[in-house]
Amino acid sequence: MSDTWGNRIKLSIFGESHGPAIGITIDGLPPGLAINMSQVEQEMARRAPGKSPFATARQEADTVEILSGMHEGKTTGTAICGIIRNKDARSKDYGTIPRPGHADLTAAMRYQGHADMRGGGHFSGRLTAPLVFAGALAKQALSSLGISIYGRIKQIGTISDPITDPAPELWTALTGQEFPALNAASGKAMQELILNCRNQLDSVGGVVETAAFGVPGGLGDPFFASVESVAAAIFFSIPAVKGIEFGDGFSLAAMQGSQANDAIGIEDRQLTTKTNRCGGILGGITTGQPVIARLAFKPTPSIAQPQESADPVSLEPATLEIKGRHDPCIVPRAVPVAEAALALAILDCLPEGTLFDHRKEK
């Protein structure tokens, strides 16, 4: 079975990094939603490789061909299928020795050596391009409801952006930036660290922070269908994500209740919290405050330094030195991916019929 996700919005992703194409099927969007393809292209360009010294040199336009589900710029209500042609694969850069820290190992175990693992195959970060396409549609759908999604680079290695609670206008200012870090000094230091790692034939990880503004209170369900559960399921589908926290997350474990609790107040004759340590979610349900999530990305496993591995055929030890084109840090290109995942999660948590009813009202 293909990889699938979602309840009200259902995604199915397919393809391999060095196959003819990759793509995604999106089901659950109502008919009549107008889609701005120029905005879709802008989102795709943010993730596309070959445009930055911080990214792989692989050249891919990541143009989406829509095969179904749209007509004359609007959704038809049937499943949307979009594909992205692979045009700059170099399979000769890859051998049969599994890369330490990569799914090469577990793919061999799971598929008994039959998976197409050129360039990482179906496990490659290349598969996040279709996810960004789906997220671009989700962002436009949410925008019609007054919900906006943003992302930023919070941390690279040990260097962290000191701005801890950005105002909405600061998030907006990051839109379209190649390296979306709010603090200029820390952003420069992060970039220098990435380039140093590249020069040392190494890689580095980091943290992406995402925020959803305008999310109404009351979305979600307790326990298994909580907003955190829905979001975590798609966040963890992003290759290299190894940790997630909402709001103050793990730092809450070091606090006392008097420090961690968000005081409750009244604004515009509605209940609200005066702070947002909970990340906009309590009991699995949104509070009306911005939904804040941070994703920890491990370092890119494909590095040119010698690494210990083993030959899966001879079962003999092997030394691996990777020669292909790889990101020294995937975090900058992961920002639009994290935004896409959050947008899809919020969209999936909307009550059934919300988008359809809103479209009719317009």
Identify the CATH class of 3-361.
alpha beta
Average pLDDT, the chain: 90
Q: What is the dihedral of CA 276, 282, 285, 288, to 10 degrees?
A: -20
Across residues 224-252, what is the average pLDDT? 96
Q: What are phi and psi of 253, to 5 degrees?
A: -65, -20
Q: How far apart are CA 130 and CA 128, in angstroms?
A: 6
pLDDT of 251? 95
pLDDT of 326? 77
Please enumerate in sequence order all residues whose Cβ is within 8 A of that of 233, keeping only pairs 6 or more positions apart, or say none: 5, 345
Query: How far from 185 is each of 2, 163, 193, CA to CA, in Å?
Result: 44, 11, 13
pLDDT of 90? 60
Q: Decide if pLDDT at 52 tops 80.
A: no
| Beta bridge mates, 148 | 213
Across residues 229-253, what is the average pLDDT? 96
pLDDT of 89? 60
pLDDT of 1? 42
Across residues 100-124, what is the average pLDDT? 83
Confidence (pTM): 0.92
- Give the percent of the chain with pLDDT over 90: 68
Give me the count of residues in the chain. 362
Q: For the chain, what is the total number of helices (H) and then of strands (E)?
A: 9, 18
Across residues 143-162, what is the average pLDDT? 96
pLDDT of 357? 60
| pLDDT tens digits along 9-38 | 999 999 998 889 999 999 999 999 999 999
